[in-house]
Amino acid sequence: EVIEEAADYAKMHALGTLAGGVAHEINTPAQYIQNNLEFLSDSFADLVGAIDRKNPDEPARLNLDKPKIDFITEEVPMAIDESIQGLNRIAEIVRGIRKFAHPTTDAVEPISITEEIDTAVTLARNQVKHIADLDVVMQSDVTEVSGRRNHLSQALINLIVNASQAIRETGQRRGRIDLLVTSDEDNIYIRLRDNGAGVPENIRERIFDYFFTTKERGVGTGQGLPICRK
């Protein structure tokens, strides 16, 4: 029970660490949705203002020149499509947050590997995108396993965040994080590799100890890697 509570705490800490990035990921599509709605509002006002109803016995006429009509005809569908994409992106992020924040349980059930990976990548994206290229490669036909829901995405988030921090500490302009999924007859393997500085040899035996961390206070809890191992 204590370990499960520690896992929930670590999960909330990870979500708190990612909160600023998640807010940015939501704000970006929200901003261009707002811009598109303002454009659509202006375009609608132009159309309404151009309607000529001087003769009620005849069909209304639209007093707009051809370039303006062509512009509205081309840009309005694009603005609508971009807004729909933005709303879908926001919905994807919210689903990821709700899924990840769900309390950890010991129940073993079928879980989707791709969904767990998508959740981890969605929530960690802003943490990584200015530091490294994150590449996910599926080389397995197995998409579902039995396990504890959210445990996999939590482990992956911890590993991705650790990888991005390790790359940032090297000072390199652009790093790389590779997530590879493979399988054989009995097992499925998820491997994550980065080109950061690596773990110093003198602390390698301790990195899976609970509450051991090399990070500053408030940055690391010393629970991420132990939970990954568990």
In a domain, 221, yes or no: no
Of 53, 85, 101, the residue that ends a domain is 101
In a domain, 205, yes or no: no
Judgement on whether residues 161 and 126 belong to the same structural domain of the protein: yes
In a domain, 156, yes or no: yes
The percent of residues above 70 in pLDDT, for the chain, comes to 74
Judgement on whether residues 88 and 126 belong to the same structural domain of the protein: no
In a domain, 18, yes or no: yes
Judgement on whether residues 95 and 125 belong to the same structural domain of the protein: no
What sign has the CA pseudo-torsion 50, 54, 57, 58? Answer: negative
**Residues ≥6 apart with Cβ < 8 Å to 128:** 134, 160, 163, 164, 177
- CA–CA separation, 101 and 10 (whole Å): 11
Taking only the tens of pLDDT, the chain with its 230 residues reads: 444 555 555 566 566 666 666 777 788 788 889 999 999 999 899 888 888 777 777 777 778 888 888 888 899 999 999 899 889 888 887 877 777 666 656 678 888 888 888 888 888 887 788 889 999 999 888 888 888 777 788 888 888 888 888 888 888 889 999 999 998 888 889 899 998 877 767 766 666 665 556 665 555 555 556 566 56
Q: pLDDT value at position 1?
A: 47
Judgement on whether residues 131 and 80 belong to the same structural domain of the protein: no
Judgement on whether residues 1 and 95 belong to the same structural domain of the protein: yes
159, 228 Cβ separation under 8 angstroms: yes
C-beta atoms surrounding 85 within 10 Å: 13
Q: What is the CATH number of the domain that holds 133?
A: 3.30.565.10
Structurally, how many domains does the chain consist of? 2
Judgement on whether residues 150 and 133 belong to the same structural domain of the protein: yes
Judgement on whether residues 131 and 92 belong to the same structural domain of the protein: no
In a domain, 229, yes or no: no
Q: pLDDT value at position 177?
A: 93
Domain coverage including residue 154: 109-198
Beta pairing partners, 176: 133
The pTM of this model reads 0.57
Q: pLDDT value at position 220?
A: 52
Of 55, 72, 101, the residue that ends a domain is 101
Q: pLDDT value at position 197?
A: 75
In a domain, 220, yes or no: no
Judgement on whether residues 77 and 54 belong to the same structural domain of the protein: yes
Judgement on whether residues 161 and 178 belong to the same structural domain of the protein: yes
Judgement on whether residues 124 and 185 belong to the same structural domain of the protein: yes
In a domain, 194, yes or no: yes
In a domain, 214, yes or no: no
Q: pLDDT value at position 127?
A: 79
Judgement on whether residues 132 and 181 belong to the same structural domain of the protein: yes
- CA–CA separation, 93 and 91 (whole Å): 5
Judgement on whether residues 61 and 130 belong to the same structural domain of the protein: no
Q: pLDDT value at position 2?
A: 45
Of 80, 101, 122, the residue that ends a domain is 101
